C-alpha cells in the first residue's frame, strides 16, 4: 500500500473527532439562527398584528424553503460532493438574518425566513454526509453528535432571544449575524479537510462497497420500510410543531406567564430535545435502531395524553420528558434509512431532513389555523394522539439481525 492509500485508509477507519465536533458546533450555530424564527413570534405578532394563521405561514415558508431543496442537494452531492457548498449556504442564512432584523412588514419577514431556509437546505444534507465520512463506522454516534449540536442551538436560540431580543426589539436579531460569520469560517475549514479527491472518493467508494456486501433486502421491503419511516417522521414533527411554534403562546394563555418566562420554558423543552438526540444514536448502535425508533415515538404517548391536563409545574416536567423520548428517534431513523439505501447518504439525508422540515412547516400552518378556530388548548388535546402512530414501527425489519446473519454467511 503506497503512502497516499495509507493516509486515505487512516481517514476512513478512524473516527475523526475534530471534524465531528466542528460539524456539531456548526450545526449549533446554524440551528441557533433558525430557532430565532419561532422565538421572535410573540414580538412580530404584536408588531405587525398577526393572527395565529399568519404565524403558521411564517413557519410554513421557512420549512418549505428549507425542505424542498434538500433531496435535490443530496442527489447532486451523491454524484459530486461540493466541499465549499456549506459556507455558501450559510451566506444565505446570514442574508436572511439581516433582512429579518430590518424587515418593515410581514411580507419582508416571509422573504427573510425563506433565505434562512435556503441556507438550511444546503447545510443539512452535505454536513450530514461529512459526519458520515468522519464517523469511522460509528454512524449512530456520529449522527447523534451532529444532531445534538443542532438541538442545542435550537435550545439556546430562544434563551438568547429572551435576553437580547424580547427586551429590546426585532432589530437586535442583527447580533446573531456573528454566529453566521463564525459558522462560515468553520465550514470553510471543514471544506478544506473534505476537499482532497483521493480521500473523499475513497470514502464514498469504500462505504458503498462495504454496505452493499453487508445488507441486501428485497426492493419491496426497502420501499415499505422507507414509507414507514416517513410516517414516523410525520408523527414526530407534527407533534413537535405544536411545541416549537405554539408552546410559548400556550403557556402565556393558560398560565399567564410573561414572554421572557415562556422563552425560558421553551429552552427547557429544547434542551430536553438535545439530550434525547444524544441518547438515541449510540443506543441504536448497541441494541438496534428499530427498538429505539419504536420506543421513542410510541413511548411518549402516556406523557402527551397527560400534558393538556397538567398545571404549570407538571407541564414543564412532562414537556421535558416528551422532548427526551421523541427526540431520541431522529438519529436512529436517519442511520436506519442510510443502511436501507447504501451508497446514497446525501439522498437519504436530504430526503429525511427535508421531509422533517416540511412536516414541521405544514404542521405549524395547520395547527395555527386550528388554534385560530378552536383555541390553543384544543391543539394540544388533538396532538396528544399523534405519538400513537409510532406503533407502525413494528413493521420495520430488524437490520441488526439481518447484518449479523449476513456476516456469518
Give the integer Cα–Cα distance in Å for 383 and 391: 16
The segment with the largest mean pLDDT, out of 192-196, 218-222, 299-303, is: 299-303
Between 106 and 83, the more confident residue is 106
CA distances from 247 to 165, 239, 269 (A): 18, 11, 9
CATH number for the region 9-407 comes to 1.20.1250.20
Confidence of residue 210 (pLDDT cuts 50, 70, 90): very low
Between 55 and 312, the more confident residue is 312
Q: Is the pLDDT of residue 214 over 50?
A: no
Q: Is the pLDDT of residue 164 over 70?
A: yes
Across 31-35, 151-155, 389-393, least confident range: 151-155
Across 12-16, 23-27, 247-251, least confident range: 12-16
Domain ranges in the chain are 9-407
In this structure, are residues 240 and 58 in contact, taking their beta carbons and an 8 Å threshold? Answer: no
The segment with the largest mean pLDDT, out of 147-151, 198-202, 230-234, 285-289, is: 230-234
Residue 154's closest CA among 38, 324, 241? 38
Across 115-129, 316-330, 344-358, 385-399, least confident range: 344-358
**Grid coordinates given for 405:** 446473519
Instruction: Compute the average pLDDT of residues 381-408.
Output: 77
What pLDDT was estimated at residue 1?
42
Q: Is the pLDDT of residue 352 over 80?
A: yes
Q: Is the pLDDT of residue 204 over 60?
A: no
Q: Is the pLDDT of residue 206 over 70?
A: no
What pLDDT was estimated at residue 380?
93
Between 157 and 58, the more confident residue is 58
Average pLDDT score over the chain = 81
What pLDDT was estimated at residue 242?
86
Between 24 and 263, the more confident residue is 24
In this structure, are residues 198 and 8 in contact, taking their beta carbons and an 8 Å threshold? Answer: yes
Instruction: Compute the average pLDDT of residues 259-265.
Output: 83
What pLDDT was estimated at residue 114?
92
What pLDDT was estimated at residue 246?
86
Instruction: Compute the average pLDDT of residues 166-195.
Output: 86
Q: Is the pLDDT of residue 83 over 80?
A: no
Instruction: Compute the average pLDDT of residues 297-319.
Output: 95
Q: Helix (H, G, I), strand (E, B), or coil: what is residue 220?
A: helix
Q: Is the pLDDT of residue 400 over 70?
A: no
Confidence of residue 4 (pLDDT cuts 50, 70, 90): very low
Q: Is the pLDDT of residue 245 over 60?
A: yes
What pLDDT was estimated at residue 406?
44
Q: What percent of the chain has pLDDT over 90?
A: 26
The segment with the largest mean pLDDT, out of 2-11, 60-69, 195-204, is: 60-69
Confidence of residue 401 (pLDDT cuts 50, 70, 90): low
What pLDDT was estimated at residue 7?
44
Helix-, strand-, coil-residue percentages of the chain, each rounded to 5: 85, 0, 15
CB hemisphere CA count around 9 (13 angstroms): 6
Across 17-21, 263-267, 375-379, 381-385, least confident range: 263-267
CA distances from 6 to 11, 208, 329, 349 (A): 9, 19, 36, 29
What is the per-residue DSSP string for 226-254?
A: HHHHHHHHHHHHHHHHHHHTTHHHHHHHH
Give the integer Cα–Cα distance in Å for 147 and 162: 24
Amino acid at each position: 500500500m503506497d503512502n497516499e492509500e495509507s493516509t486515505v485508509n487512516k481517514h476512513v477507519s478512524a473516527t475523526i473527532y475534530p471534524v465531528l465536533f466542528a460539524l456539531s458546533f456548526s450545526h449549533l450555530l446554524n440551528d441557533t439562527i433558525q430557532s430565532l424564527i419561532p422565538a421572535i413570534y410573540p414580538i412580530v405578532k404584536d408588531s405587525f398584528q398577526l393572527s395565529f394563521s399568519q404565524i403558521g405561514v411564517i413557519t410554513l415558508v421557512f420549512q418549505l424553503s428549507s425542505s424542498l431543496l434538500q433531496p435535490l442537494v443530496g442527489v447532486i452531492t451523491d454524484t459530486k460532493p461540493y466541499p465549499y457548498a456549506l459556507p455558501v449556504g450559510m451566506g444565505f442564512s446570514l442574508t436572511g438574518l439581516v433582512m429579518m432584523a430590518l424587515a418593515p412588514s410581514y411580507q419582508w419577514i416571509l422573504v427573510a425566513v425563506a433565505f434562512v431556509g435556503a441556507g438550511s437546505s444546503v447545510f443539512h444534507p452535505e454536513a450530514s454526509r461529512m459526519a458520515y465520512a468522519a464517523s469511522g463506522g460509528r454512524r449512530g454516534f456520529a449522527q447523534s453528535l451532529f444532531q445534538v449540536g443542532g438541538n442545542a442551538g435550537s435550545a439556546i436560540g430562544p434563551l438568547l432571544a429572551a435576553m437580547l431580543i424580547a427586551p429590546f426589539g426585532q432589530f437586535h436579531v442583527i447580533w446573531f449575524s456573528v454566529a453566521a460569520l463564525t459558522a462560515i469560517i468553520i465550514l470553510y475549514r471543514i471544506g478544506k479537510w473534505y476537499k482532497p479527491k483521493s480521500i473523499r472518493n475513497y470514502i464514498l467508494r469504500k462505504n458503498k462497497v462495504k454496505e452493499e456486501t453487508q445488507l441486501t433486502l428485497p426492493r419491496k421491503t426497502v420501499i415499505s420500510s422507507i414509507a414507514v419511516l416517513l410516517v414516523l417522521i410525520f408523527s414526530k414533527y407534527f407533534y413537535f410543531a405544536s411545541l416549537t411554534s405554539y408552546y410559548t403562546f400556550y403557556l402565556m394563555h393558560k398560565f399567564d406567564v410573561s414572554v421572557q418566562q415562556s422563552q425560558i420554558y421553551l429552552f427547557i423543552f429544547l434542551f430536553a430535545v438535545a439530550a434525547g438526540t444524544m441518547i438515541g444514536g449510540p443506543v441504536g448502535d448497541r441494541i438496534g435502531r428499530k427498538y429505539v425508533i419504536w420506543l421513542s415515538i410510541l413511548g411518549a404517548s402516556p406523557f402527551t395524553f397527560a400534558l393538556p391536563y397538567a398545571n404549570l409545574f407538571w407541564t414543564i416536567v412532562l414537556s421535558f420528558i416528551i422532548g427526551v423520548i421523541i427526540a431520541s428517534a431522529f438519529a436512529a431513523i436517519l442511520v436506519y434509512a442510510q443502511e436501507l439505501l447504501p451508497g446514497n447518504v446525501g439522498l437519504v439525508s436530504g430526503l429525511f431532513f427535508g421531509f422533517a422540515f416540511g412536516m414541521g412547516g405544514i404542521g405549524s400552518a395547520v395547527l395555527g389555523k386550528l388554534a385560530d378556530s378552536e383555541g390553543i388548548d384544543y391543539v394540544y388535546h388533538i396532538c396528544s394522539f399523534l405519538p400513537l402512530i409510532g406503533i407502525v414501527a413494528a413493521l420495520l425489519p430488524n437490520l441488526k439481525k439481518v447484518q449479523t446473519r449476513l456476516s456469518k454467511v
